[in-house]
Amino acid sequence: MKFLIVGLGNIGKEYENTRHNIGFDILIQWAIEAGFKFEIKKYAALANISYKGKQLYFIMPTTYMNLSGKAVKYWMNELKIPIENIIVIVDDLALDFGTLRLRGKGSNAGHNGLKNIDEELQSNQYTRLRFGIGNDFPKGRQVDFVLGKWPKIQMEQLPERISTAIEICQSFCTTGLANTMSTFNNK
């Protein structure tokens, strides 16, 4: 069984360690821990591993956030992975910092990466792992906040939250959506 794990973010040094790149950060940490490497391929950096009898494919789109759907659609089709075996890791302003929420489908909540994925796939019936980044910004400063660097106190808390996000993705691939949601949501 194959799974596509999509970490959303923007390519380029200026976006490293920003809130909007948490999807990339989670996949990069997973790669470090599991010892796999990404290769630049069409529309994305791609890696894959075998995990508990499952084939896990990881992509970090190189299309920038607003065109993430192009990479997701291409690799979903190329690897012949059904939509129910896709999980997209995304930042979420509506959740407090570090809150992790798994959903089997849903709205894009104004997130440009999810909007584009919805458009490209003509569906919102894919799983998403939302990583809370909070919304502590003045009116009109949302873009600066999302593209801003993590403050020191949150940087110190990130490793533990990233580890939990990896566990959630692993559980999704091995025990399924319902079991993973009941185990991890509301923690």
- Segment 147-170 mean pLDDT: 96
pLDDT greater than 80 at residue 187: no
Q: What is the pTM of this model?
A: 0.95
Domain count, the chain: 1
Taking only the tens place, the pLDDT of each residue in 7-40 is: 999 999 999 999 999 999 999 999 999 999 999 9
Q: Using alpha carbons, list the distances in angstroms from residue 120 to 33, 115, 117, 136.
A: 32, 9, 5, 31
Catalytic residue, chosen from 19, 20, 111, 128, is 20
Is-catalytic flag, 20? yes
d(CA 132, CA 158): 11
The whole domain housing 55 covers 2-184
Taking only the tens place, the pLDDT of each residue in 41-76 is: 999 999 999 999 999 999 999 999 999 999 999 999
Residue 173 half-sphere exposure toward CB, CA atoms < 13 A: 26
d(CA 59, CA 61): 6
Q: The CATH number of the domain where 104 resides is what? A: 3.40.50.1470
Taking only the tens place, the pLDDT of each residue in 111-155 is: 999 999 999 999 999 999 999 999 888 788 888 899 999 999 999
Looking at the chain, the whole-number percentage of residues with pLDDT higher than 70 is 99
* pLDDT of 71: 98
Residue 7, beta-bridge partner list: 89
